[in-house]
A and B are shown apart, each in its own frame.
Chain A
Amino acid sequence: MSTTPYHDARPLLDSAAPRLGLLARVHLDGPLILGLLAIAGAGQVVLYSATRQDLESVIRQGSRLGLGFAVMIALAQVPTQYLRRATPWIYLIGLLLLMAVLAFGDISMGAQRWLDLGFVRFQPSEIMKLGVPLMMAWHFADKPLPPRLGHLLVGALVAGVPFVLIAKQPDLGTALVILSAGLFALFLGGIAWRIIIGLGAIAAVAAPLFWEYGMREYQRQRVRTLFDPEADPLGAGYHIIQSKIAIGSGGIYGKGWLNGTQSHLEFLPESHTDFILGTLAEEFGLIGVCILLTLYFFVITRALWLASRAPDTFGRITGGTLALVFFFYAFVNTGMVSGILPVVGVPLPLVSYGGTSLVTIMAGFGILMGLHSHRPRT
């Protein structure tokens, strides 16, 4: 025991903790679930107002949440080694589907994101939101850490290929989620600080090139309007201006539930989907925003803690990456709605109306909880 500097570290080959609660026995983490439920509950309350008291929408979203929790519980039961064995296949199938989307995908809203399988239309990029963290972890799990340069380059490809494929659809929001997953995995895998700094420097140089050749005009327009929304108040800047008005007019205490004028009178676009934080900030003020951010912070740190308790590198990197992807959602969304980040289509996790990403996120938490409690059998 003296070999470990961590006072709480238990022998790694112990079969199970001596006292197991009911939740632990089904591989669930009570505090994390409570945090998720709190966010989802708050989201339902805000959604009711943002949909202008359309109970039907709230119920539909509630059932999606229910589905999400079910998927989460189910995935928590999957033993880690099964998951680890399935990882390359999940990733490979995801990659093939992404290519299929580019080849035969449906065009909706000017972008090819959907794949029609005859019985169901779905976005293969959702698979990659789990596939990339898993594949990154799978890749680094049997490598010496911190990884060598060659391994890092392979890791970069694991995230880079789906990033490019998704960005080509084009779906910048999801592509950035995938990219962030890759970067988080590299970071958690222990990539040396000097490489991080070096990459930062390369990014600084590459950014202008990316701006010129890597982005579509509408994406550039989004970035431009971020820095000067008033320049195009009725076009691309409208979202940001109205969202800032919604947030700012909420004040410290907010206008009160169901009293938000910006969202109710339809000035705030997408007031129940990507911009639902504007509705929340308008009706519940700074206090409401702080409570929500606190809940997110709690969920993320709890998830990181759970990840750190995973018995092996595969589990830790998968869990940590999923936790940070969740953070990425929350940060990019709050940042874009409050006007400090460009408008990229990233929902506010567990709060925004919409099903696909919700289920993926919950699936991620399911995997994360399973990683923590399934001990490898040796």
Chain B
Amino acid sequence: MPLRARVADLRQTNLAARRLFIGRALVAALVVLLAFLGVTARMAYLQVLNHEHFSLLSDQNRVRLVPLPPTRGQIFDRKGVLLAGNLTSFHLDITPEQVGGHAAMDALLEDLRGLIELSDGEIARFKRLVRRSSRSIGVPLRFNLTEDEMARVAVNQFRLPGVDVRNDLTRVYPQGQHLAHVVGYVGRIDEAELARLDPADYSGSSHIGKIGVERSYEELLRGKVGWQQVETNAQGRVIRVLESTPPVAGRNIYLSIDSHVQRVAEQVLIDAGFLGAIVAIDPRNGEVIAMASNPGYDPNPFVNGIDAKSFKALNTSPDRPLFNRALRGMYPPGSTVKPFYGLAGVELKERERYSATFCPGYFQLPGQEHKFRDWRRGGHGRVDLDRAITESCDVYYYQLALDLGIERMHDFMSQFGFGRLTGIDLRGEKSGLMPSPAWKRRTYNQAWFPGDTISAGIGQGYVLTTPLQLANATAALAMGGKHFQPRVVHALEDQATRTTTVLQPQPLPPIPVVERRNWDAVVAFMTHVVHTERGTAFRAMGRGAQYRIAAKTGTAQVFTLGQNEKYDASRLKDELLDHALFIAFAPAEAPRIAIAVIAENGGHGGSVAAPLAKQVMDAYLEAYP
């Protein structure tokens, strides 16, 4: 084929091929166009039709609500001594996500062991927590780092991925045992509490008041949780704060109790070596001046969970240190009820103020052999109300009880709060017991016997009171029938505004007075207990008293003697010895303190309990002249 023809042929072939290509390229371009239109349609579907839906999802992705726990209110004594505070403590956190796998974590823990003290228990607990929590959240490894340890961690931080030292506030009780029974403590929220409370209130906080003021003023101490709307990244790390409602710090609390007076009340019990309680109340407003229960305990270990061994030791100790005797201990009041019964006798017209009963040293119910003995075996002879209180004659009250009858005794004593809750601002108070026939039938399904009335007449038998009740009843007696709900909290302080609100006294319905002179007489006779030589407390506190005290001693039997047995202290085991009791108020003419003392198994109230009360009253009246 000649060259020209070959070229022409080639050209022809090429033209045909090119035409073919252009056709195919046009189809391809069309496909490209359709494909891109399809993608555009998909984009429009996502970005226009479903824009709102995805915007919402996007916000949900990035925005989280983070609770801001409020600072718990502090607790002070009346004068501002810190009883419960918040301490910044440092703990070591590890964020597993930033560490890597198991091998890396083990290596890191080994590394940390060289820097800070770590027990096997802590590591085991940490590993348990790691398994249960999100990998992006810091898990605490060690609490309460020392400054040395913090420094060592900080220096090595660069080679410790995922390790953070974080701070938080830990509740501390700088006074330890002092006032522990009143202040109480906070602890980790438990399952039962979790079910009861609103989780929103406790977002971000792990502790709750368990007992004492910490418990009863929980709502005020806690404050109000704040919230932060934060933007977080996919790892949950906070990038920035969008919106924030600050937390409201809890109210600071000022107790009515003066730490100094309280310390005296605690110390006298410790020094005397008795288990027991002392409660002192300001009769003018019901404010508690001192509330001691011996022994006490250190509340600090309870805050972050006391270890099982220590708790068992505290809980099973025969001295029962966790038991607030002032609030929950129920004791037979013994002779301390005598002024009240004496007042009942004259107010209810069963006795004249100066009418006398003959005391031969024992009392017999008509037609019965059983002898109810007087504490003085030879008897007191002719006894009027004055001697009955001053010398604490039992027979006078045996006869009086019989004449009053248990119903009237019950009703009269109830007015003073016997057998009733005082309504103090602490949880767990016991009501004591002022028995009545109805009560006995209900409880034991037994009839009330006259002998029960006789025992009740000297504060024995079924009668039980708490030290708090006894003190508050004494306060009512001191105030001529006016009385108040006792309170341990004096004032609340708003941490933001620094304004203090003093709580108003909570009056109880006053006890009706039939004849003012009856009350005055009982008070006068109670001063005789202290200030006359025949008085049962004269030797213990009457000599050299700086002010006039109205008081009554009590010695309560813990067990019942056989009919002809003689009480012999030296032969009895300690825990069967009589309880020593004492009630008093002072100054007698214008009372500022009413007090009840119980020394368990202390023996005689006049010689044992009275001096303890005296020291507390001295301390208080000196501090608040």
CB pair B17–A313 under 8 Å, yes or no, is yes
B125: min CB distance to chain A, Å = 28
Extra pairs beyond A3-B15, A266-B235 (19, CB < 8 Å): A145-B17, A145-B20, A187-B27, A190-B20, A245-B54, A248-B55, A262-B61, A264-B233, A265-B233, A267-B233, A286-B44, A286-B47, A297-B32, A307-B25, A308-B22, A316-B21, A327-B28, A327-B32, A331-B35
Q: B513 within 8 Å of A by Cβ?
A: no
CB pair A248–B40 under 8 Å, yes or no, is no
CB pair B28–A145 under 8 Å, yes or no, is no
CB pair A324–B232 under 8 Å, yes or no, is no
A247 with B46: in contact, given A187-B28, A289-B40 (CB under 8 Å)? yes
CB pair A265–B62 under 8 Å, yes or no, is yes
Q: Which 9 A-B pairs have the closest CB atoms?
A: A248-B54, A249-B58, A265-B233, A266-B234, A248-B46, A286-B47, A249-B54, A251-B51, A190-B20
| Residues of A307-329 whose CB lies within 8 A of B | 307-308, 311-313, 316-317, 320, 323-324, 327
CB pair A331–B39 under 8 Å, yes or no, is yes
Q: B107 within 8 Å of A by Cβ?
A: no
CB pair A245–B36 under 8 Å, yes or no, is no
Q: B11 within 8 Å of A by Cβ?
A: yes
For B12, the closest partner residue in chain A by CB is A3
A245 with B61: in contact, given A190-B20, A281-B47, A331-B36 (CB under 8 Å)? yes
CB pair A145–B234 under 8 Å, yes or no, is no
Q: A370 within 8 Å of B by Cβ?
A: no
| Residues of A230-271 whose CB lies within 8 A of B | 242, 244-252, 261-262, 264-267
Q: A338 within 8 Å of B by Cβ?
A: yes
A246 with B58: in contact, given A3-B15, A320-B25 (CB under 8 Å)? yes
> Of B14, B53, B55, which contacts A312 at CB under 8 A?
B14
A293–B12 Cα distance when bound, in Å, is 38
Q: B33 within 8 Å of A by Cβ?
A: yes
CB pair B20–A251 under 8 Å, yes or no, is no
Q: A169 within 8 Å of B by Cβ?
A: no
For B58, the closest partner residue in chain A by CB is A249
Q: B246 within 8 Å of A by Cβ?
A: no
A252 with B48: in contact, given A13-B7, A334-B39 (CB under 8 Å)? yes
Fill in one digit per residue for B41-60: 1 if any A CB lies within 8 Å of its CB, else 0. Answer: 01110111011011101100
A320: min CB distance to chain B, Å = 6
Could you say which residues of chain A place their CB within 8 Å of the CB of B231? Answer: 261, 265
A323: min CB distance to chain B, Å = 8
- For chain A, what secondary structure do more than half of its interface residues adopt (helix, strand, loop), or is it mixed? helix
A293 with B15: in contact, given A244-B54, A308-B22 (CB under 8 Å)? no
| Residues of A128-164 whose CB lies within 8 A of B | 144-146
Which residues of chain A have a CB within 8 Å of any CB of chain B? 3-6, 9, 12-13, 144-146, 184, 187-188, 190, 242, 244-252, 261-262, 264-267, 281, 285-286, 289-290, 293, 296-297, 300-301, 304-305, 307-308, 311-313, 316-317, 320, 323-324, 327, 331, 334-335, 338-340, 378
A187: min CB distance to chain B, Å = 6
A26: min CB distance to chain B, Å = 25
B176: min CB distance to chain A, Å = 48
Could you say which residues of chain A place their CB within 8 Å of the CB of B15? Answer: 3-4, 9
Could you say which residues of chain B place their CB within 8 Å of the CB of A266? Answer: 233-235
CB pair B47–A248 under 8 Å, yes or no, is yes
A317–B28 Cα distance when bound, in Å, is 12
A245 with B29: in contact, given A265-B231, A289-B43, A340-B39 (CB under 8 Å)? no
CB pair B39–A335 under 8 Å, yes or no, is yes
Could you say which residues of chain B place their CB within 8 Å of the CB of A320? Answer: 21, 24-25, 28
Q: B239 within 8 Å of A by Cβ?
A: yes
B55: min CB distance to chain A, Å = 5
What's the interface size class on B, roughly?
35 or more
Could you say which residues of chain B place their CB within 8 Å of the CB of A267? Answer: 61-62, 233-234
CB pair A261–B47 under 8 Å, yes or no, is no
A-B contact pairs, 22 of them (CB 8 A): A3-B15, A6-B19, A146-B20, A187-B24, A187-B28, A242-B61, A248-B53, A249-B51, A250-B51, A262-B58, A266-B233, A267-B234, A281-B47, A290-B43, A293-B39, A297-B36, A300-B32, A301-B29, A327-B28, A331-B35, A338-B39, A340-B42
For B24, the closest partner residue in chain A by CB is A188
> Of A261, A307, A323, A338, which contacts B58 at CB under 8 A?
A261
Could you say which residues of chain B place their CB within 8 Å of the CB of A289? Answer: 40, 43, 47
Could you say which residues of chain B place their CB within 8 Å of the CB of A9? Answer: 15, 18
A3–B19 Cα distance when bound, in Å, is 12
B8: min CB distance to chain A, Å = 9
For B35, the closest partner residue in chain A by CB is A331
A266–B239 Cα distance when bound, in Å, is 11
A3–B14 Cα distance when bound, in Å, is 12
For B53, the closest partner residue in chain A by CB is A248
CB pair B24–A190 under 8 Å, yes or no, is yes
A244–B44 Cα distance when bound, in Å, is 12
Q: B100 within 8 Å of A by Cβ?
A: no
A160: min CB distance to chain B, Å = 21
CB pair B21–A317 under 8 Å, yes or no, is yes
B277: min CB distance to chain A, Å = 60
CB pair B62–A261 under 8 Å, yes or no, is yes
Could you say which residues of chain B place their CB within 8 Å of the CB of A340? Answer: 38-39, 42
> Of B33, B47, B235, which contacts A251 at CB under 8 A?
B47
Could you say which residues of chain B place their CB within 8 Å of the CB of A286? Answer: 43-44, 47-48
A271: min CB distance to chain B, Å = 10
A188–B25 Cα distance when bound, in Å, is 7
A252–B55 Cα distance when bound, in Å, is 12
Could you say which residues of chain A place their CB within 8 Å of the CB of B22? Answer: 6, 308
| Residues of B572-614 whose CB lies within 8 A of A | none
A247: min CB distance to chain B, Å = 5
Fill in one digit per residue for B312-333: 1 if any A CB lies within 8 Å of its CB, else 0. Answer: 0000000000000000000000
A355–B39 Cα distance when bound, in Å, is 26
B554: min CB distance to chain A, Å = 73
Q: B16 within 8 Å of A by Cβ?
A: yes
B299: min CB distance to chain A, Å = 44
CB pair B233–A290 under 8 Å, yes or no, is no
For A321, the closest partner residue in chain B by CB is B28
> Of A245, A249, A285, A313, which contacts B14 at CB under 8 A?
A313
